[in-house]
Structure 1
Amino acid sequence: MPYTTTDDGVRLYFEETGSGHPLILVHEFAGDLRSFEPQMRHFGKRYRAIAFNARGFPPSDAPEHVSAYSQARAADDILAVLDHIGEPRAHIVGLSMGGFATLHFGLRHPQRALSLCIGGCGYGAEPDKRETFRAEADVIADVIRTGGMAAFAERYAYGPTRVQYQNKDPRGHADFKAMLAEHSAVGSANTQQGVQKERPSLYTLVEEMKRLLVPTLIITGDEDWPCLLPGILMKQNIPSAALAVIPNSGHAINLEEPEEYNRIVGDFLCQVESGRWPHRDPRAVSASITGMKN
């Protein structure tokens, strides 16, 4: 089984397929590398596609202590995979927890990114939602530790941004829930308290975003309510960013609408590789609504 080892000694399991420019897929909290199977099959036809399990998600190691988990480590774990495969740069594509890791990878290691695709990124980011999100992370960790993953999956899989997937694709949603139930209770609880709860609000990263010049796509579902305003925030402040919204969709957009997701991301990658991805024209940023202000 292919593994890489991080600088703090954690083994990360990964899989790869295809050849070409490397593309690293970074999964969400409720998923693992299997969540990106539609993308591995699609993009593996054109790219060297790599998906890995985050720390805490077996067969990657699941450290016993919360201190081994953080937003910075999540970003640097992407770098460990990139170094291991021997590539200087890669397209980084993440969803939710993986979307946050993708953004932070771009902020921490911009010279190693060909592009960034930040999906479903924003939970708990708004200042008035932050303490509620932090409290819910502790509740989730406690539910997992006391009740186990199967009982947790029965609740979490039917959240307000997950029911869209169930309504569209009951069989796919059932697979998603079963996958979630298989995860490590220790790893999932520690991820909630070390990565999710403690990550900085996007609203504190605005000045860093303004300096981010890596080609960036922000993509979200229009019923992924916690991610809509944070998505606009990133679009407004990352000068190389575009914003794509998939209609009538919740959080798991790559599984809910795989064809549309793959089309949008694929078009983005093609524009980047052809050198046609733009930076925002400064004339598009104005205090005037029409450009006719005195």
Structure 2
Amino acid sequence: MNVTIDGILYHVDTIGKGFPLLLLHGFTGDSTTWKPFLSQWSQEHQVITVDIIGHGKSASPIEVERYDIQSVAKDIKGILEHLGIEQANVLGYSMGGRLALSFSLLYPQFVYKLILESASPGLETKQEQDNRRIQDTNLSQFIRKNGIERFVDYWENIPLFHTQKKLSLHMQQEIRKQRFENSVIGLSNSLLGMGTGAQPSWWNRLQELKAETLLLTGEQDQKFCFIAEKMVKKMKHAKWQKFNECGHAIHVEQPEKFGTIVSVFLSN
């Protein structure tokens, strides 16, 4: 279904019955990211998948400020309200994890349990933010200049995703095909408005989180393991689980184990 929130069209799907579970995909992804888990999770939950602004079948407005992560978190609240949902479990991956964390801090009454897969509270210093904003701006300009195909060629070969080279050729082709479904404007503006350099730093507010939280990282993704180790020390109701022989996209590299761990956490 399509839902219009504050003038922006969002593509939203729901499946199953039970306590709501909201799923938020990563940068260059869309709601089909979660397709392998829907039959399992929808047995116990009303599963809600959203194409985040600038991705998939949702709108890709030209106004960069519309991609601001706090603005998008407000849109997520609007989507839940449209569906008549007062509280949900929320799972976010990478960019979707940063959005899930932002949503949980801005609208804590809506979040019962929180799962953050390879996610970050942002950067700790202004210097780091400024440097990252420059990187994101350069990458945004690269997309606009060279188009989606050249960008995807670059993106799938960055060190963050090197462990995905061990996936089957079919799986790699499926991921590549899905990335091509995105638009130049949507991806470039997502980097400018919702990139790690653009979002607020939430490090000093992590202790405010009331939702029981599960942090998930792959052991070969050393950067995000380091982040998760620091995060869990600042959070009152969090635990951290590391996946052996796995990189950034755990749900892609170890889907069976990932699906089971999420189900167990949500059912306890």
Using structure 1 for the length normalisation, give the TM-score: 0.86
Counterparts of 1:200 and 1:226 in 2: how far apart (Å)?
A: 19
Is the CA contact (8 Å cut-off) linking 1:40 and 1:49 kept in structure 2? Answer: yes
The answer as to whether partners of 2:122 and 2:199 remain within 8 angstroms in 1 is: no
Conservation of the 8 A alpha-carbon contact between 1:150 and 1:182:
no
- The AA in structure 1 aligned to 2:134 is A
Matched with 2:235 is 238
Q: CA deviation at 1:130?
A: 3.9
Is this contact kept in 1: 2:101–2:121, CA < 8 A?
no
Which residue of structure 2 lines up, in the alignment, with residue 276 of structure 1?
none
Picking from 48, 58, 61, the partner of 1:60 is: 58
Structure 2: stretches of 5+ with no match in the other structure: none
* Structure 2 partner of 1:292: none
Q: Secondary structure at the match of 1:162?
A: helix
Mapped pair 1:268 → 2:265: yes
Write the letter of the residue equivalent to 1:50.
Answer: I
Distance 1:224 1:42 in 2: 27
2:124, 2:188 → 1: CA distance?
A: 23
Query: Residue 178 of structure 2 aligns with which residue?
Result: 179
Q: Give the C-alpha shift of residue 131 in structure 1.
A: 4.0
Aligned residue number for residue 201 of structure 1:
201
| Unpaired runs of at least 5, structure 1 | 272-294
2:136 aligned with 1:137: yes
1:118 to 116, 119, 135: 116
Q: Which residue of 2 aligns with 1:169?
A: 168
Contact 1:141 1:192 in 2 (8 A): yes
Q: Distance in 2 between matches of 1:123 and 1:270?
A: 26
Quick one: distance in 2 between partners of 1:123 and 1:135? 19
1:146 is aligned to: 145
Provide the TM-score with structure 2 as the length reference. Answer: 0.94
Q: Percent identity?
A: 27
Alignment partner, residue 214 of structure 2: 217
TM-aligned CA distance change 1:120 to 1:189, over 3 Å: same
Contact 2:160 2:221 in 1 (8 A): yes
Asked if the contact 2:24/2:50 (under 8 Å) is kept, the reply is: yes
List aligned pairs for 1:63-78, cutoff 5 A: 63-78=61-76
Q: Which residue type is aligned with residue 23 of structure 2?
A: L
Alpha-carbon shift at residue 155 of structure 1 (Å): 1.0
Q: Cα gap change, 1:11/1:246 in structure 2, threshold over 3 Å: closer, same or farther?
A: same
Measured in 1, the distance between the counterparts of 2:133 and 2:34 equals 27
Deviations 1:12-69 (A, max 9, x none): 1011111111101001002110111112232112211111101112421111111111
Largest Rg, 1 or 2: 1
Q: Deviations over 1:85-141 (max 9, x none)?
A: 111101100000100011111101111111111111139635475444322211210
Q: Aligned residues, how many?
A: 266
- 8 Å contact kept, 1:56–1:187: yes
Distance 2:21 2:234 in 1: 25
Which amino acid is 2:216 matched to? Answer: I
**Which residue of structure 1 lines up, in the alignment, with residue 4 of structure 2?**
5
Alpha-carbon distance between aligned partners in 2 of 1:103 and 1:110, rounded to the nearest angstrom: 10
